[in-house]
Amino acid sequence: MSRNDLFLRVCRGEAVSRPPVWMMRQAGRYLPQYRAIRAQTDFLTLCKTPELACEVTLQPVDLIGVDAAIIFADILLPLEAMGCELRFEKGEGPVFPRPVRDRAAIDQLSRPDVDATLGYVFEALRQTRHALDSRPPERRVPLIGFAGTPWTLASYLVEGGISKSFAHLLGWTWRDPDGLTALLDRIAEVTIAYLRGQIAAGAEALQIFDTWGPLLDEARWRRMVMPSLMRILDAVGGTVPRIFYAKGAAHLLDSLAELPVEVLSVDWRQPLDTVRRRLSRDVVLQGNLDPTVLLAPEAVIRAATTELLEQGRGGGHVVNLGHGILPMTPPEHARVFVDTVKEIGDRYVG
Ligand code: CP3
């Protein structure tokens, strides 16, 4: 084995000896080694310092043994590049002090040169690829780049941060859908250049996060989320595998099957075999362990992981969580999840 490429092989629909496994938010606060770096550095500075971003990207590869690395950054960074002030406040999450809520505010946004404004992410990708090349073969894993959908980025930018009701955003969809679409198109333009830059810098697969699209019913998801998303997916097609993640999207499966992606990543509210049966086309599935399972005793984690492998059988499966790993997760529990896949995964392929 010259490197561990299980993840890329499954994304491409090739046969493998066992399913690959990684975890959304795998570089993060559940790791004491991450918290040690964060004690010295605020979150945005960490994202913007390639040496540190590279170091935390590799932590779960070395400490937990995952089969893929995802570059350490945040989906909201391109909005900052467009001139929107972004802060991460302790206990509050992301804050946009000047939310965008009308066409006049859209006109104020800049059309950034991504090398000048987001080049630190590209540099972190280059350094991480280089560092991965000097790992032993089993830890020389593929590197994933990512972005959010314009809709999910807009949900933070329009609300000014995390929201319970999304009243400003959802109100805008009724009041002036074309105006909101103009905002989504502007975000899509930057996202396309940003993702192409990530590929050029060494990203070997791309994951697009649509955390908040499923707030909408299917007809309005197709009207508001899908057009700018399709432009992005088309623009990066044919280069690297595309993974689409939607949280709570069981009501959108017919539309998700139309997306030009190689992998669909779903949450835990429907078992993978049900999702596979309901989809109108063959596609590799990623997911979908409930992240709270990793708070349970080891025997429970083993049993749930075994059941997940069983449900993923009969089609390509990238084992993952259904959403990000929780900060309170004991790292040993994440290791039990990953080790279980490595130990018995060979029984669940083919
Ligand atoms: O997965 C990884 O390890 C790669 C890095 C990554 C982060 N955020 C780092 C991060 C990725 C892929 C994301 C995606 C992201 N960011 C999403 C989509 C997926 C999802 O979780 O639904 C969203 C919606 C965001 C926006 C965001 N960033 C929020 C809402 C928050 C605050 C909530 C929280 O978890 O603290 C963040 C902060 C953030 N992004 C942290 C990390 C490790 C925590 C920052 C810290 O260290 O304090």
Q: Ligand 1 atom closest to Cα of 28?
A: 43
Residue 70 in contact with ligand 1 by CB distance below 6 A? yes
Q: Could you tell me whether strands 263-266 and 242-246 are parallel, antiparallel, or unpaired per DSSP bridges? A: parallel
Whether 209 lines ligand 1, by a CB cut-off of 6 Å, is: yes
Three-state secondary-structure class, residue 243: strand
- Per-residue model confidence (pLDDT) at position 89: 86
Minimal-distance CA residue to ligand 1 atom 18: 209
**Cα distance between residue 208 and residue 75, in whole Å:** 9
**What pLDDT shows up at residue 1?**
65
194 is known as an active-site residue: no
Reply yes or no on whether 245 is catalytic. Answer: no
pLDDT one-digit tens code per residue, 321-347: 999 999 999 999 999 999 999 999 999
Ligand 1 atom with minimal separation from the 327 CA: 35
- Active-site residue flag, 38: yes
Which ranges of the chain would DSSP assign to H, the alpha helix?
6-11, 32-38, 43-48, 50-63, 77-81, 103-107, 114-133, 150-159, 167-175, 177-200, 218-224, 226-235, 253-256, 272-278, 298-312, 331-344
Take atom 48 of ligand 1 and give the residue whose Cα is closest: 43
For the chain, give the percent of residues with pLDDT over 90.
97
DSSP β-ladder status, 69-70 and 87-89? unpaired
Stretches where the chain sits below pLDDT 70 are 1
Q: Identify the pLDDT of residue 133.
A: 95
Atom in ligand 1 nearest the alpha carbon of residue 73? 5
Burial class (CB in 10 A: 0-12, 13-18, 19+), 55: buried
pLDDT at 92: 85
Report how far residue 137's alpha carbon sits from residue 301's, in angstroms, rounded to the nearest whole number: 28
Helix (H) or strand (E) holding 344: helix 331-344
Q: Whose CA is nearest to atom 11 of ligand 1?
A: 74
CB atoms within 10 A of CB 217: 11
Identify the helix (H) or strand (E) that includes residue 220: helix 218-224
Q: Is 243 in the pocket of ligand 1 (CB under 6 A)?
A: no
- Residue 128 CB less than 6 A away from ligand 1: no
pTM: 0.98
